[in-house]
């Protein structure tokens, strides 16, 4: 029996630099498949870019999973949507001949990227999580030995408390990931510091892969 992967509206840009790991771009609430393409080109020039649009609408704004309130996730929906995204990603990797991508997610996209790490260990080659939260009250046991993770949080973020970011870093480290956590003097929005740190971190990954 053939199983059809869930459909995601998405954008794909093939690599022009085969040495760079592909990026899985995961937008924040209200974004779409085009939202993070400029950021992807900026932080990883020449990398293949795969950018799906979230399939959930909140007041007309695309998201990757439902929430009950700001900072309160519908965890059953998060599990189901994470599994759908994993199936889509496997199909896209096969279709385009991609290696395990590095997720680059912002806000809601960073949260589902963290969920992907925990529910599907090994599917991602790493993750840059910008303004992410702990996705589950009772996280699944995961083995992430050596998986590189960049976690960038905002010291004055009104949505993600500093303690939550620290808990996420500890959770991923406890699962064996190599976590670099930086708290920046910013709020929830992205800054030039995020761009520079993500670019340098991705360049280091590329160097280490050689």
Active site members: 107, 157, 188
Q: How far apart are CA 25 and CA 47, in angstroms?
A: 12
Whole-angstrom Cα Rg for the chain: 16
Tell me the sheet residues that pair with 115: none
- Outline where 18-161 has alpha helix (H): 37-43, 75-96, 108-119
Could you give the 3-state DSSP secondary structure of residue 174?
A: helix
Residues paired with 152 in a beta bridge: 130, 182
Return the C-alpha torsion angle 194, 110, 114, 171, nearest 10. Answer: 50
Question: Diameter of the chain by CA atoms?
Answer: 52
Q: What does the block give as tokens for 203?
A: 């360049």
Burial of 19 (0-12, 13-18, 19+ CB in 10 A): exposed
């Amino acid at each position: 029996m053939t199983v059809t992967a869930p459909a995601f509206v998405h954008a794909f840009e093939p690599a022009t630099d085969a040495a760079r790991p592909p990026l899985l771009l995961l937008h924040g609430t209200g974004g779409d498949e085009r939202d993070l393409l400029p950021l992807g080109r900026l932080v990883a020039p020449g990398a293949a870019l795969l950018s799906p649009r979230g399939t959930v609408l909140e007041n007309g704004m695309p998201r990757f999973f439902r929430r009950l309130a700001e900072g309160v996730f519908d965890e059953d929906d998060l599990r189901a949507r994470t599994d759908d995204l994993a199936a889509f990603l496997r199909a896209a990797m096969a279709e385009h001949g991609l290696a395990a991508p590095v997720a680059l997610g912002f806000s809601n996209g960073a949260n589902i990227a963290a969920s992907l790490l925990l529910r599907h260990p090994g599917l991602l080659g790493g993750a840059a999580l910008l303004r992410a939260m702990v996705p589950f009250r009772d996280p699944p046991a995961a083995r992430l030995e050596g998986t590189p993770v960049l976690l960038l949080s905002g010291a004055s973020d009104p949505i993600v408390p500093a303690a939550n970011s620290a808990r996420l870093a500890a959770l991923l480290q406890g699962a064996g990931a190599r976590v670099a956590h930086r708290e920046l003097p910013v709020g929830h929005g992205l800054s030039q510091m995020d761009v520079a740190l993500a670019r340098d971190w991705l360049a280091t990954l590329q160097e280490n892969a050689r």
